[in-house]
Amino acid sequence: MNLMNVYFDNAATTKVRDEAIDAMIRVMREDYGNPSSTHYSGRFAAAVLSGARGKVAAALGAAPDEVYFTSGGTESDNWAIFGSADSSSRRGKHIVTSLIEHDAVLSPVKKLENTGWDVTYLPPDRSGRIPVDALNDALRDDTVLVSLMLVNNETGAVNPVDEYASVIKRRKSGAVLHTDAVQGFCKIPFTVDKLGADLVSVSAHKIHGPKGAGALYIRRGIKFPPMLYGGGQEGGKRSGTEALPAIAGFAEAVKLAHQELSATLDTASTLREYIIDSVLDELPETVLISDGGSPYIISLSVPGFKSEVLMNSLESEGVCVAKSAACKKGARSRVLEAMELSGDVVDGALRVSLSRYNTSDDAEYFVKNLVKASKRLMKARG
């Protein structure tokens, strides 16, 4: 088999699809006006912006005026955390989150903790999920924010956000529920109403849109402060001229991903099943870390071998995978450590993440080269 280029790091970022690129170029060439300007060029740009907001809102099952464009998932998460704290500090200063959240949630939470906020960090169970009972036990009268992600970016574990919402409602808690849905948006079926979340973060570059665009859903009626002050764009909540080319690309990617969700989900599920079955058949000592959850993310470990060694071997054959979140820059996974996995399993973990562009040939090539690398290393080790 000839050398192939196989990209299996789609949880880090995805290839921008041609339709999104075309939408961005069209805006830069034709609808380049400022959406806040009142002349015809501004009105054309404003129409593009309004249309983009409608596409993202439709995919979320939200009203357009509940969608606020941001620069991406990190900004959306930061705004959700700091905004909730700012608007709720008089009612209480307790936050519930988890040990498996993205750094875009944990870093602002820790900053608040350093300024006097009380934070409860819920550990995952062995499946990588946060148990509903754990949230129920953690809620207090002074809890004002619960931030628990929908799909974990390292293991693919899918949290029951709708059940968290039910617990908060049943307890008659005044806590706002935020979920980082970056790895779930247009990948697994959900609407904001079914989730029951008050704040939902999403991003463009995980669904074949451009980097630099995202959104925060803010449920109508939630008291929420602006992120940026200035000209009053984004309903007065995020001032500054909108990055219209990126937003247009984001919206086009959202529209198509939403339309294709079922078919792409089936494709990813088939590839995932093939990869898992084939690897376990060839390398029975492999530990499957992500059992179920999102079909787009496979977390597995070949104990006894360092992730970096296997990754380097795969890269030499043209295969890109990861050991943890890209933002960790190769550091040991705190998510897997929080699951209380053994050290050799954590050190040998690989994250294989799929997209609509991956094929059965990609999967076959990956399995072949992972098996080849593992057996070669076993032989060399004696």
Structure tokens at 57: 């809102």
Question: Torsions phi, psi of 211, nearest 5?
Answer: -70, 150
Cα–Cα distance, 275 to 277 (Å, whole number) = 6
270's CB contacts (< 8 A; 6+ apart) are 360
Token pair, residue 222, equals 């939630």
DSSP 162-181: HHHHHHHHHTT---EEEEE-
Separation CA 92–CA 173 (nearest Å):
11
Residue 327 falls in the annotated catalytic set: yes
Residue with tokens 């993440």: 353
Task: Let me know the angle formed at the C-alpha of 176 by 157 and 218, rounded to the nearest 5 degrees.
Answer: 85
From the candidates 25, 28, 327, 331, give the one annotated as an active-site residue: 327
Structure tokens of 2? Answer: 């000839």
| DSSP designation for 255 | H
**Who's near 98: CB < 8 A, 6+ residues apart?**
121, 122, 123, 124, 130, 148, 149
| C-alpha dist (Å) from residue 324 to 65, 85, 178, 281, 315 | 36, 29, 23, 24, 16
Q: What is the CA radius of gyration of the chain?
A: 21
Short-list 320, 325, 272, CA closest to 296: 272
CB 343 within 8 A of CB 254: no
The answer to whether the CB of 76 falls within 8 A of the CB of 215 is yes
Residues with catalytic roles: 327
